Structures are given as C-alpha cells and as structure tokens.
Amino acid sequence: MIKPHGSDALNPLYVADSDRRNTLMVEAETLPSLILSSAAAANAVMLGGGYFNPLTGYMNLADAMSVSEKMHTVDGLFFPVPIINLTTESNVEAGTRVALRDPNVEGNPVLAVMQVEAVEDVSEEQMHFMAEKIFRTLDPEHPGVANFLSMGHTLLSGPIQVLSYSYFQTDFPDTFRTAVEIRKEIAEHGWEKVVAFQTRNPMHRAHEELCRMAMDQLDADGVLIHMLLGKLKPGDIPADVRDASIRKMVEVYFPPNTVMVTGYGFDMLYAGPREAVLHAVFRQNCGCTHLIVGRDHAGVGDYYGGFDAQTIFDEDVPTGALELEVFKADHTAYSTKLDRVIMMKDAPEGHTMEDFVLLSGTKVREMLGRGEAPPPEFSRPEVAKILSDYYQSLDS
C-alpha cells in the first residue's frame, strides 16, 4: 500500500489505549482550559485520525509563515496549509499543559491535551500575509478569509494528545472514519490502486460517472467517496442529507464492493488550489493512490480559475513531495447526442453547449424546492427525491 505522507508508518495522535486516555481525561480536569475555535478543533480531529501525518501537533508561527509562503515547514516538510491553533485568549503560558475544549459540543468537553511549547503574538500584517497566500485573496466576503481573520492573534503551538473525535463519531457513526480505519479497510478489500473522490455536495450523474471514468482509465480496484462532515458556509447542504443521497446512489448504481462511502471531520476552508493539495496529502495518508481533481475543486465564487486546483500540482508541488497522483478531470456533463456522460473536452466534433444537460446550482435548488425532479440525465431520481424532501422541508 502507498506510504503515508512524510513517514513510513501512520502516526495518529488519538490516544487509542483506553486506560491511558482515561488517565489523561482525569488530568485534563485539573488543567487550565481553552475553548478552541471550530477550525482548531477540526485540526485536532484530523491530527487525531492520522490525516495530517506526520505532524505531532499545531505549528508554530515560523512554520505557519513558511508553509503559507513556500508550502513547507522551516525544516523542509512539505505541507500545503498551516495547521494552527489561533485564539483570542492571552492567559496561556508556554511550558504548560492545557485542556483543549470542543466548541461544537454542548458543555465544551475535553477534545485534547496540549503541551504548549510557544505562545506567539501574530501581527495584523502576518495574518494578512498568511491569508493572502492560502486563499489568494483578502476579500472579507470570501468565507475562508473571513473565518481565518476572525480567529484571533495569539498562536499556540506544540504537540497534542487527542481524546475525542468531537461530534463526528456520534452524529455519523456509519460514515466518519479515521485515516487509520480507511487504510485498514482498503487492506481488507485487497485494493492496491484506489481513487479518492472529494465532495462537500450531493453527487449528481456527472460526479457518479467521473468516478467510473477514473476507475476505468486507471484500472483502479476501488473508489473512496470521501465527504466533508464539518462546517460549511450558509446555504450548503447539511452532511446528513449528503450522506443519505450519496449512499443511495452507490447502493443502486455501483457494483458491490467497489466503493467505500466515508467521511472526515474537518471544516471547509474554501481555499481552492491550496485545499486541493491538502486533500491530496490526507488522501495519501488514507492509503489512496489517486485523487480526482476537477473543475473549481474546493473553490467558492469566482476567486479561482476553473483549473487552478490542477495546475498547482504542476507548478508549485515539488517533484516527489507526494506519492499520490492526481487524476485531472474536465467539466463533465450528459451529452444528449451520445446519450451518456462525458468530459466536455472529449466531446466529438460538432458538439455544442446545447447538446449538454447543464443546470446551475440555483436552478436545481429551485426545482427541488418546488418538488420538481431535475432531468434524469442530471440527477438520479432516487437522489433527487432525498434532496427534494430536504428542500421542501425548509419551506414547511
């Protein structure tokens, strides 16, 4: 199986030994507490599950600045975005142990214990420098920029021991999986070549066929459909609705034992190209050999070019930095001339835009809200029914 990023073996930071974990839970109740931002809590969950291998905790300011500018730490470890703990608190001291508490669960239970190695003030200039490098914009309307610049100017760095996976295990018991668990399941399937499909949305016909295209062209053993389960921007479809619609699509339209439907506990960054590379890092840690990167991968609005998330792998990711390879996908749609879904760049001569079934997200939402099913060339009827029920429930 493909090696994890940056090491020969995966190093998840979740304390799996129950006795050790209980001991740390008891200790945590005696420690100073810090309620994390949602982003820092999501980083802890991802560190716990091995997704951010080989990191041992939150980055310090020097590493965060270096990663933002050059996509590697001061010591040269390739990483596409800083994994940090920014806070508005100023009473934490370096050299102490701190109980990190979950902002997303009632009562703020302990999520992790941190050995604080450094407490650093981050200037406005440094915050803007990092944001501009990560998101390619400082527009406050960009949801990722707005969130990043609101988290505070105190940066806490140091190793952590993760004691919980927040709400993800309880809310999504059939879907949430750690990188450790996904690696184990891939091995149990006997898969060697595995394609990952990232999604924060329900999957329509084009997405479904894109997975098939990648499997066929790469002669892959299976597909990992890996959905984000954390926080999104307002208006995005909730994780439980996405989960139900994707599972129904796989159940009805894919052969048994060819697809793993899983999810991970992270908040969407909307960082476009940089986030696409982050997706590649943690899919390699999952054991996947390929990642599908399509049009406007991890984008939002008009902040990124349609294929910037592909070109970053050619232009900015050093040769050998990742073992995982990228499957580059063009815009994919149903051709009424060919009676099947194709990549639009592969359309035979004579095709025009009128020969494709293309619907905007707004148009689809309006149809579903009225109880109208999008055309079957665009969305499977079983999927459309689940989405329609959700949108109509918003108006009831």
Domain boundaries, the chain: 18-169, 172-332
Alpha-carbon gap, residue 382 to 394, rounded angstroms: 19
Let me know: does 231 contact 268? Beta carbons within 8 Å: yes
Q: What average pLDDT score do residues 7-33 get?
A: 97
Alpha-carbon gap, residue 305 to 285, rounded angstroms: 27
pLDDT band of residue 332 (cuts 50, 70, 90) is confident
Give tens-digit pLDDT for 338-387: 898 888 888 888 888 888 988 777 788 788 888 888 888 889 999 999 99
CA dist 111 → 51, 70, 161, 180, 182 (Å) = 17, 31, 9, 19, 22
Work out the angle at residue 115's Cα, subtended by the Cα atoms of residues 113 and 119, and round it to the nearest 5 degrees: 120
pLDDT reported for residue 14: 98
Question: What is the number of other CB atoms lying within 10 angstroms of the CB of residue 48?
Answer: 27
Residue with tokens 């639009």: 344
The answer to whether domain 18-169 and domain 172-332 are alike in fold is no
Buried b (16+ CB within 10 A) or exposed e, 62-95: ebbbbbbeebbbeeebbbbbbbbbbbeeeebeee
pLDDT band of residue 108 (cuts 50, 70, 90) is very high
- End-to-end alpha carbon distance in the chain: 49
pLDDT reported for residue 355: 86
Alpha-carbon gap, residue 118 to 73, rounded angstroms: 16
pLDDT band of residue 391 (cuts 50, 70, 90) is confident
Let me know: does 97 contact 79? Beta carbons within 8 Å: no
Percent of the chain with pLDDT over 70: 100
Give tens-digit pLDDT for 265-290: 999 999 999 999 999 999 999 999 99
Percent of the chain with pLDDT over 90: 80
- In the predicted model, is pLDDT for residue 236 greater than 90? no
pLDDT reported for residue 349: 86
pLDDT band of residue 396 (cuts 50, 70, 90) is low
Mean of the per-residue pLDDT values of the chain: 94
Let me know: does 196 contact 177? Beta carbons within 8 Å: no
pLDDT reported for residue 364: 82
Active site residue ranges: 200-201
Instruction: Provide the CATH topology of domain 172-332.
Output: Rossmann fold (3.40.50)
- CA-closest candidate to residue 119, choices 151, 68, 161, 84: 84
Q: What average pLDDT score do residues 147-153 get?
A: 96
pLDDT reported for residue 369: 82
Q: What average pLDDT score do residues 169-190 get?
A: 96
Q: Let me know if 19 is exposed, middle or buried by CB neighbors in 10 A (0-12, 13-18, 19+).
A: exposed
Query: Which carries the bigger pLDDT value, residue 235 or residue 250?
Result: 250
Superfamily designation of domain 18-169: Sulfate adenylyltransferase (3.10.400.10)
